[in-house]
């Protein structure tokens, strides 16, 4: 995390967490979900406008990437100064780009190494890596398929419904928060 974030956390230790305002889509793009977007539907509802506005400010995106983490419950968040902004995940907490040489890079720009290759019953490709578990970007699924066909990678089939529990991540911290508050 950035030093300025650590300093803000020390100065203001009791800032409430923020839920529902930030989303990560299946292509590794960030979406700002204002109150209107949240009223339209959940991040994964598929309702037009529910995802919110696509973030395009490079410095803000870089700041989010540097301060992206998870808590003990498996909820992913962006530490925005003293405030945790919990992230609604369309699919997984990581989105992987796969190079021609099968190198793996996270949507945050971090390089990692693949330890397992998986696919769900719908044909979506996932990688378990040294950084964690994530979805293969749609533009790179062909490279993973070629690696499987050539024997450079062995495929395991998984159930999509079991991924979050198996890999310990929460797709919707806002929904979990609502369940906890009841």
Tokens found for residue 156? 């395991």
**Residue 60 φ then ψ, to 5°:** -65, -45
Mean pLDDT, 10 residues at a time, over the chain (182 residues)?
Answer: 71 82 97 95 95 97 97 96 94 97 97 96 96 97 94 93 96 84 38
Is the Cα dihedral 76, 73, 11, 14 positive or negative?
A: positive
Please name each of the domains of the chain with its CATH number: 3-91+169-181 (3.10.540), 94-167 (no CATH)
Instruction: Give pLDDT, residue 62.
Output: 97
Instruction: Give pLDDT, residue 38.
Output: 94
Instruction: Give pLDDT, residue 86.
Output: 97
Q: How far apart are CA 131 and CA 119, in angstroms?
A: 18
Instruction: Give pLDDT, residue 82.
Output: 85
């Amino acid at each position: 995390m950035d030093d300025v974030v650590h300093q803000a956390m020390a100065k203001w230790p009791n800032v409430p967490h923020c839920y529902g305002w930030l989303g990560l889509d299946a292509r590794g793009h960030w979406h700002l979900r204002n109150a209107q977007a949240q009223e339209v539907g959940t991040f994964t509802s598929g309702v037009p406008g529910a995802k919110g506005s696509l973030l395009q400010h490079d410095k803000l995106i870089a700041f989010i990437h540097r301060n992206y983490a998870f808590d003990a419950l498996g909820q992913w968040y962006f530490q925005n100064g003293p405030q945790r902004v919990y992230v609604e995940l369309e699919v997984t907490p990581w989105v992987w780009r796969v190079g021609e040489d099968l190198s793996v890079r996270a949507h945050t720009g971090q390089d990692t190494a693949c330890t397992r290759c998986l696919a769900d019953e719908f044909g979506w490709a996932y990688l378990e890596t040294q950084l964690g578990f994530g979805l293969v970007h749609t533009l790179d699924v062909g490279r993973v398929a070629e690696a499987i066909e050539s024997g450079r990678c062995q495929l395991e089939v998984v159930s999509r419904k079991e991924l979050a529990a198996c890999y310990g991540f929460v797709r919707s911290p806002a929904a979990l928060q609502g369940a906890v508050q009841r």
